[in-house]
Chain A
Amino acid sequence: MGRVHQNLKVKVPDPRLAIIEKRLKQVNRIIVVASGKGGVGKSLVATTISLWLSRKGQRVGLLDLDFHGPSCHIILGAKEVAPTEERGLIPPEVHGVKFMSVIYYIGDRPLPLRGDEISNAFVELLTITRWGRLDYLVVDVPPGIAEEVLDIIRLIKRGEFLIVATPSALATTTVARLSQLLQELQVPVLGAVENMCPSETGTEGAEKFGTTLLGRIPFDPEVEEKLGDPELLLRTKFARAVEAIVDKIRT
């Protein structure tokens, strides 16, 4: 019998997904700071959490997933640093925090991306970044419940969500929607924090967020002038309220 030659199409599964798993293997906990609502202080809270964790002797990474409006680098004061290229990208350490963001490559230029492009950029960034051994990876997520949130749920199953809200009724309803979605999908949720409060005391009235309230953070007018200087930022009333929340997250 002669030999049968066949031309076969070969389907190769996306190798990036297997690599992502490998990249995050040595990361103990992944904290996802999200809201649904914009401008409620996600980036400030996420960055301050990572600074406190580092202060408390933890190995910490911070990933800015906001491709359209990256801002963690401004809060950290990350200037003139860049990842090291070594079988991927090793993020530089800024004030004790391993920091990854698209700003290293786009600088101040806009990065106009559509939905599936955001998804792809997210996958590529996770594939290429070598975090090494971390106690915590903190992820700053842009507003909405679109690609970034859905991709985290799809690809980082053990990500624990910290939901940021404000006292405004305009924030509460959107935040409650995110809580509801996470619950429905059985995603781990640490709880909510209420930011920009007139005063930080008490946890009453927390039901409205649809999850436990980990704490309230006061509106602190001093924060603005401390952006870019983590040492001074950590001494504000704002940061002290975040510290109490960090201690809750750790237990």
Chain B
Amino acid sequence: MISSLLAVAKEKGAKEVAEAKIKLGKMQQIDIDILNLAFRELTRGTLLEKTKIKVEPEETRFRCRACGHEWNFEAPGKSEEEEAIHFVPELAHSFLRCPRCRSPDFEIMGGRGVWVEYIKISR
């Protein structure tokens, strides 16, 4: 992620990167504080050293292909289910069902991965 950020900043001829917005899927179970810390650690001495990062969590969201219902997944505490979808999100199909029609045929709409939404640069 950091190398992609640096590559884009360089490509655009940035002198400074003021801000970067990072989205963090909740399924990933990454602690925001830890991500912040890692970012500071790994960008020392680079163009991103002073960059302010805004980390925003993204809800785990599903959409039923059978009836169209959409819902957010809230795992009950440290459950086995949460463990499983943390490793392989698709495993949700073995234990989750659409709350409206009970179908296992749903799409994962959000909540996976870590990505950069935008950066603000000055040149």
Contact = CB atoms under 8 A, between A and B. Distances in A.
Contact of A6 (B1, B5, B120): B120
A15 B115 CA distance: 10
A185 interface: no
A106 B91 contact: yes
A8 B119 contact: yes
B122 A5 contact: yes
Interface string A92-135: 00000000001001100111111001101100110010000000
A10 B8 contact: yes
B109 to A, nearest CB: 13
Interface string A8-22: 111111010000000
A56 interface: no
A105 B93 CA distance: 11
Contacts of B121: 4-6, 8
Given A8-B12, A102-B88, A110 B94 contact: yes
A3 B122 contact: yes
A9 B91 contact: no
A90 interface: no
B111 to A, nearest CB: 13
B1 A9 contact: no
Given A4-B123, A6-B12, A111 B118 contact: no
A101 to B, nearest CB: 11
26 contacts: A5-B18, A5-B122, A6-B12, A6-B120, A7-B118, A7-B119, A9-B117, A9-B118, A10-B118, A12-B1, A13-B4, A67-B90, A89-B87, A105-B80, A105-B83, A105-B94, A106-B94, A106-B95, A110-B104, A111-B90, A111-B93, A113-B93, A120-B89, A120-B90, A124-B89, A128-B87
Given A3-B123, A5-B18, A112-B93, 17 more contacts: A4-B121, A6-B12, A6-B121, A7-B120, A8-B119, A10-B4, A10-B117, A10-B119, A13-B4, A67-B90, A106-B84, A106-B91, A106-B95, A109-B95, A112-B105, A117-B90, A124-B87
Interface of B: 1, 4-5, 8, 12, 16, 18, 20, 80, 83-84, 87-91, 93-95, 104-105, 108, 115-123
Interface of A: 3-13, 15, 67, 89, 102, 105-106, 109-114, 117-118, 120-121, 124-125, 128
